[in-house]
Copies of this chain bind each other. A is one copy, B any other.
Amino acid sequence: MMIIMQPGATQAQIDHVIEHVEGRHLSPHAIVGVEQTIIGAVGESHSVPTSVFETLPGVLSVTRISQPYKLASRQFHPENSVFPLDGFTIGGLEIPIIAGPCSVESRTQIIETAQAVREAGANALRGGVFKPRTSPYAFQGMGEEGLEYMAEARALTGLPIVAEIMAVSQVPVMVKYVDVLQIGARNMQNFNLLRAVGDTRTPVLLKRGMSATVEDLLMAAEYILAGGNERVMLCERGIRTFETATRNTTDINAVPVLKSLTHLPVVLDPSHSTGHFNFVAAVAKAAVAAGADGLIVEVHPDPAHAMSDGIQSLTPENFAKMVRQVKAVAEAVDRRLVTPLPLGEGQG
C-alpha cells in the first residue's frame, strides 16, 4: 500500500502516519521526494482498509498496489485455463461458437433454430428462459417449460445448452438442465448469485456488466472461483458509453487486456455489443482477430417475429455466412473453429 502525502505535509503528520502504519503491523518505508513524501506500508495489508490512512491529516491519497484478485489472475495460474464442454474445449486452440435465439419462444422455434445453427457450424445452443427485461410488462421467458424444450433440442442435435440464470432460487432447476450457466450483464455484481453458481460445478459464462471495468469483471469471476467452481468463461458484451450509433460499445481492447491479466477463456457477444444484425459479422471477425476464445451470437429463424432482440439477431443464412468468414480469420491468427460433428450424430 502506498500512502501519498500532500505537498507541504509536516514532519509531524508524516510521523503520525508512520505510527499508524506500525500500529497495523505493517512496515513503513518513507520516500522523501522534492515536493511530496510517499510512505510504503509493506506486509499483510489486504485486510487493512485504505481509510485507516486516507483520513489522517496530511494524507493526499492511498493506493493499493497488488491486484485485488488472485484465483482469476494469470500470475496465480500462468497457463491458459482450457476446459472441455460437451464435445469440444474452450481456452485452447479451438474457438467454439454458441448460437441461438434471445428467448426460447416455443418448442418448434428452439428445435428448428438448434438444427439450423448446428448445420451452420454452431457448437452450442443458447436460449433464454428467464429473461431480464427492462419492462415488467415485457415477455419474461418460458421458465422450466423452455428448459425442457432446450433439453429436447440438445438430444436432437448434440449441442450443449447455455441459458441465463437470474436468481439463486433457480439454481436447482438450471443445473438439472443446462451445460453452461450464463450470468447476465445486469447480474454481474449480484454477489449472492455469484456465490450460488460458485457452489455448483456447472461451467459459467459470466457477462461483463455494462459499466463494469475489466477489474470489476475479474473480481466477479473471483467470487465464483472462490466457491470452487473453476470453469468460468468471461464474456465481453459491450459497455455503455456516450455513443448512440450502436446499442453498446464493444470494448475490443478488453480482449487482449483480459488475456494478459487472466488465464480464463474470453468470449465475445457481438449481438449485444453492437445491437444490430448489420454489424455482428464484422465485430465477430474482429473479436477472433483480437484473440477471443469463443463467440456467442443471437440467431433467430424469423427475426422480424422474435419476441425480443430481433433487430440484433442473424438469420440462419447470415449466421452461416458469418461462420465461414470467422473461420478464415481464425486460421489467419493460427486458431481454428471446432470441427463440427457429422450431421446426424447428435444423440437424437
Binding site for B on A (CB under 8 A): 2, 4, 7-8, 29, 31-36, 38, 40, 42-46, 49-56, 63, 65-69, 75, 132-137, 166-169, 186-187, 189-193, 195, 209-211, 213-216, 219, 222-223, 226, 239-246, 249-257, 260, 273-274, 277-279, 282-283, 285-291, 303-311, 313, 325, 328-329, 331-333
Contact = CB atoms under 8 A, between A and B. Distances in A.
Nearest to A308: B49
Nearest to A325: B333
Contacts of A40: 31, 33, 38
Contacts of A56: 304
Nearest to A67: B7
A312 to B, nearest CB: 9
Contacts of A254: 243, 245
A166 B137 contact: no
Contacts of A75: 7-8
B219 A191 contact: no
Nearest to A305: B52
A134 B216 contact: yes
A115 B51 CA distance: 23
B135 A68 contact: yes
Of A54, A132, A195, A211, the most chain B CB neighbours within 10 A belong to: A211
Contacts of A287: 286
A311 B213 CA distance: 21
A156 to B, nearest CB: 27
Nearest to A253: B246
List the number of copies, as a whole number.
4
A181 to B, nearest CB: 15
A306 B51 contact: yes
Contacts of A69: 135
B243 A310 contact: no
A54 B310 contact: yes
A65 B36 contact: yes
A95 to B, nearest CB: 13
A311 B192 contact: no
Nearest to A62: B311
A305 B65 CA distance: 21
Given A32-B42, A289-B329, A136 B186 contact: no
A274 B209 CA distance: 21
Contacts of A310: 49-52, 54-55
Contacts of A38: 2, 40, 65
A116 B287 CA distance: 30
Q: Which 10 pairs across A and B sit closest by C-beta, in order of nearness?
A: A51-B310, A211-B211, A289-B289, A31-B40, A186-B189, A256-B282, A332-B332, A286-B286, A285-B289, A328-B332
Given A34-B44, A51-B313, A210-B211, 14 more contacts: A34-B42, A38-B40, A52-B304, A55-B303, A132-B191, A135-B219, A167-B192, A211-B242, A243-B253, A246-B257, A257-B279, A260-B278, A283-B290, A286-B287
